[in-house]
Amino acid sequence: MRSANVLVPMTSRNPDPKPGRWILPLIIVGMVGFTYFFVQQLPGTQPEETTTTSSATTTTTGRGDGETTTTTAPAIPAEVQAYVDKMAGSNAELAGIEADLLDVNTQQDASPRVIVYQDALALFRDVETRSSVFADGVEIAAPPAGYDTLATIHADLATAAGKIRTAGRDARAGFEGPEAQPRRDAIAAFQAASVEFTTAYDALVAAAAASSGTGA
């Protein structure tokens, strides 16, 4: 008995066993293209704008909708600044002299007294000497030429400094005298002259700032 031949049908082979492997690259390519298109549509960066005037420097910087403005005050002329610095040193010197004068006077008037006569006399003499040196320094200083306002204020400073010299001398003399009142009056005069000097110094600083490189 002959066996019958059995025919087994052949199935067609899949040319690409993993068809899904192309999906991810296509997505990536699409995202890159979309990003490039989106960036091209963004507005460009606006240039910075700078505006400068002759009396002061004003810088305006704008980017998009935001804007920042910076203004720089004009510089004080070098010769004016040097004079102001010298007077600033004198003003600080005066503060130290006045503090020492008030301190020795407080010790002298304390009850019971907390300073011996010789020590107090040495301090009053020191104040007298320093007051004279201070006044000399102010009087010989001179503001730069061409600044009339500074010259007027300097005259006020010199006048106050002269009063301080006199009050320092009178305070020492009053201490050596038989009565306490002349010393106290001299110290009150010293304080009043100190206020006068400080007021003139403040006016000097303001006038120097207002000079802005032009005679005033």
Three-state secondary structure call for residue 200: helix
Cβ proximity of 104 and 127 under 8 Å: yes
In sequence order, what DSSP letters do the residues of 150-168 get, joined into one string? Answer: HHHHHHHHHHHHHHHHHHH
In this prediction, residues 154-179 reach a mean pLDDT of: 98
Asked if residue 62 has pLDDT above 60, the reply is no
Split at pLDDT 50, 70, 90, the class of 49 is: very low
- Greatest alpha-carbon pair distance for the chain in Å reads 165
pLDDT at 64 over 70: no
3-state secondary structure of 57: strand
**Stretch 47-65: mean pLDDT, rounded?**
48
pLDDT digits (tens, 9 = 90+) for 114-151: 999 999 999 999 999 999 999 999 999 999 999 999 99
Cis-peptide into 74, omega within 30 deg: no
- Whether residue 60 is predicted with pLDDT greater than 90 in this model: the reply is no
Ordered alpha helix ranges (H), 61-116: 78-109
Mean pLDDT of 9-26: 58
Does the pLDDT of residue 10 top 90, yes or no? no
pLDDT of residue 50: 42
Band of residue 199 on the pLDDT scale cut at 50, 70, 90: very high
Is the confidence at residue 48, as pLDDT, over 60? no
Burial class of residue 185 in the structure, from the number of CB atoms within 10 Å of its CB (0-12 exposed, 13-18 middle, 19+ buried)? middle
pLDDT at 174 over 90: yes
CA-closest candidate to residue 168, choices 150, 186, 184, 155? 186
Q: How far apart are CA 87 and CA 155, in angstroms?
A: 13
Task: State the pLDDT confidence band at 46, using cuts at 50, 70 and 90.
Answer: low
Which strands form 57-63's sheet, in the order they lie side by side?
51-52, 57-63, 66-72
pLDDT tens figures, 72-113 = 556 889 999 999 999 999 999 999 999 999 999 999 999 999
Output the pLDDT for position 211: 83
- Beta pairing partners, 52: 57
As beta bridge partners, residue 57 has 52, 72
Q: How far apart are CA 195 and CA 50, in angstroms?
A: 46
Q: Which two tokens stand for residue 10?
A: 């052949």
Please count the other Cβ atoms lying within 10 Å of the Cβ belonging to residue 2.
Answer: 4
Q: Can you tell me which residue has the tokens 């306490």? A: 180
Position 30 pLDDT exceeds 80: no
| CA 29 – CA 155 distance, rounded (Å) | 84
User: What integer pLDDT is reported at residue 52 of this predicted model?
Assistant: 38
**Which pLDDT score is estimated for 54?**
41
pLDDT of residue 18: 57
Strand partners, 67: 62
What is the reported pLDDT for 75? Answer: 86
Q: Choose which CATH entry (1.10.260, 3.40.1000, 1.20.1420, 1.10.10) describes domain 78-210.
A: 1.20.1420
